[in-house]
Structure 1
Amino acid sequence: MEWGNQTSITEFLLLGLSNQMELRQLVFMLFLWMYLLGVLGSLLIVLAIGSDPHLHNPMYFFLTNLSLVDICLLSTTVPKMLVNIQTHKKSISYAGCLAQTYFIILLGGLDHFLLTAMAYDRYVAICHPLHYTTIMSPRLCTLVVAGSWLVSSLHALIHTLLLTGCFSPGNQTSITEFLLLGLSYRAEQRQLLFVLFLWLYLLGVLGSLLIILAISSDPHLHTPMYFFLTNLSLADICFLYTTVPKMLVNIQTNDKSISYTGCLAQMYFFILFGGLDHFLLTGMA
């Protein structure tokens, strides 16, 4: 989005990596070989698992799906980039950009879900070895993969629809700030909400700080699990700090606006710390 009137959007221009002919050919060959090696490596994993009956278990079932997803993820952007390098074309259509965005979010999210499922599979194998085959049944594995596809598809669809709203073709007026509806117009309710959210914010920050202090002060807790927990607590503090203080200020000052830059900054850090939470939880699993 830009801060002025916009004409109809039909395509986006891509800057590329170099304007020099010899460098473009070098970049083309480099990314072509990386793409082929990535696809070939994933296909070999799929074929090796499919051809060996000893590998027909939940762990390798998830690994097969992960390899197929990686092939699709590589094919989402790299072929288009290679074509653009060869044809000297530096544009992508509006619909093509949305399609790429949708599949990147879909397949990226699916990667995370499958890695989490593989972590859970190892947890069951180590902690409940006698009940492993009962817990990790073929039905459960299929449901996990199907559920991962469904949730990832919805997640990608929502983000893509939001993106179409931001980059909708047509004229747009200048955007300098957004108005926030708030939770109440009554002064006494605003004060109650301010005190409520202030205490929730302070309790959240204090709880995370106490976890960090407890772990750092006890040498017995200096283990990988508590190292991840310390980082998770820090991420939670930053996550709370992203939106709540601004909301508290708005409630007290009766100001219901947020600047364009402030909104983008909030969105960036909100997605950053939310994603970081997921990765740290996966690491702990």
Structure 2
Amino acid sequence: MKQFMQVMFALVMLVACTTPPAPPPALPTENMPTLIKIGVSSSAAAILPLLEETYLQQTPQAAYQFVVANNASLFADLDNNFLDAILVHHIPPKNGRYFNPVAIDGLVIITHPSNSVTDLTAAEVQAIFNGRITNWQAVGGADMPIMLLSREPGAGLRSLLRQQIMAEQPISPNTLLQTGNEAMVTAVANNPAAIGISSMSSVAQNNTVQMLMVDGRSATPTTTASQDYPLTTPLYFVAASAQEPTGELRNFLAWLQSDDGQAQIGQIYGRIR
């Protein structure tokens, strides 16, 4: 009897060891959100909180990932299919991709708030960034050397400075380069003698720097929308190809240009409609 029980136990253990494991639980069948990757120029990053508070809350069917970088890096990422679209201030020549404006911004000249100079002509801005004017006293300010700051090569604002201000004049080799818009604003805020460039949307609500008038005109959402401010620049949506976007990416662009989207964007940008 004892031997019989031992045999039965061995057979039970053998069956238990050869029984296949239970299958894993079934995965949820509901659709996963579509991942949309959008690159944003560092000088346009002020649009991100507006999107997070509004559009992104309304689109659970899509998950948006934003990458902040300079123009050259963003266009390279488009070339390498790392991004679905970008939001930038400057489109290089021979772009070939689908693009559409979604807002009007302004290239602005910024200084430390303690600087008594509040207005420069476009010719004075050119002379400062070219290095022909090197002291604030020459433009009605205090007797102190100008600390000249500009953005790094590849930055959209640097390209706009060349196009809208410098024309054929080179930027001074004595310019201190700042990588990224945040670094630029911080550097100007920390030095009373500094002058630099930024975008209206980035610094309009920042009291650590002051935006100078150019030719007697201030940059505001109203003056950029009407283009009364002389250094206006669109904020462009640029797709990865020459084809008009479809699906969720098309919905995103449509919202940016809609009445609702423009009302939100108009808090810090000039509206396109």
TM-score when scaled to structure 2? 0.19
State the TM-score, normalized to the length of structure 1. Answer: 0.19
**Bigger relative contact order (CA 8 A; separation at least 6):** 2
Higher strand share: 2
Whose radius of gyration is greater, 1 or 2?
2
**Bigger helix share:** 1
